[in-house]
Amino acid sequence: MNYPIIISTILLLFFLLIGGNIKFNFIGLVEVNMSLFGILIGFLITVLTIINSLDNQYIRAIKEDSETFNLFKNYLINAIWLSFFTIIIGVLYIFIFSTCTFPIKDFYEIIIFFITTWSLISCYRFISAFVKIAI
């Protein structure tokens, strides 16, 4: 099940329902996203290196079960690409879309919220799976 996108959609709907009542600082959110996801990309790539260097029975069993290992690898790739995409979206917002008018800026802020939650949940999914393997 691809629960990160489902939870992100639910959070987006919740955001749209209460978004008119609460003012969000999207410039601050984007700045934090760029720092957070930059660090996460480095962490996830380090984890990839650790996974390739580990050689114990449990890791060998996971690597031999190609379906489980491919799913685990897809979690990692998904987390890295979504983190990278979140940074790109943030840069575009700061330099282009933050000065736009009502419909364009609001639509882009919805995209930022959705991509950020999707990326965070995808990173959490991978990290929680990795911790179960590593510990």
Residues 6+ apart with CB under 8 A from 111: 89
pLDDT of residue 85: 93
In a domain, 16, yes or no: no
Residues 6+ apart with CB under 8 A from 84: 37, 41
In a domain, 77, yes or no: yes
pLDDT of residue 122: 93
In a domain, 9, yes or no: no
pLDDT of residue 1: 54
Per-residue pLDDT reduced to its tens digit, 77-101 = 899 999 999 999 989 888 887 788 7
In a domain, 17, yes or no: no
Mean pLDDT of the chain: 84
Predicted model pTM:
0.82
Number of separate domains in the chain = 1
Domain membership of residue 96 as a residue range: 27-134
CA neighbor of 102 nearest in space, from 94, 113, 110: 110
In a domain, 55, yes or no: yes
- DSSP assignment of 10-35, as one string? HHHHHHHHHTTTS---HHHHHHHHHH
In a domain, 50, yes or no: yes
**44/54: higher pLDDT:** 44
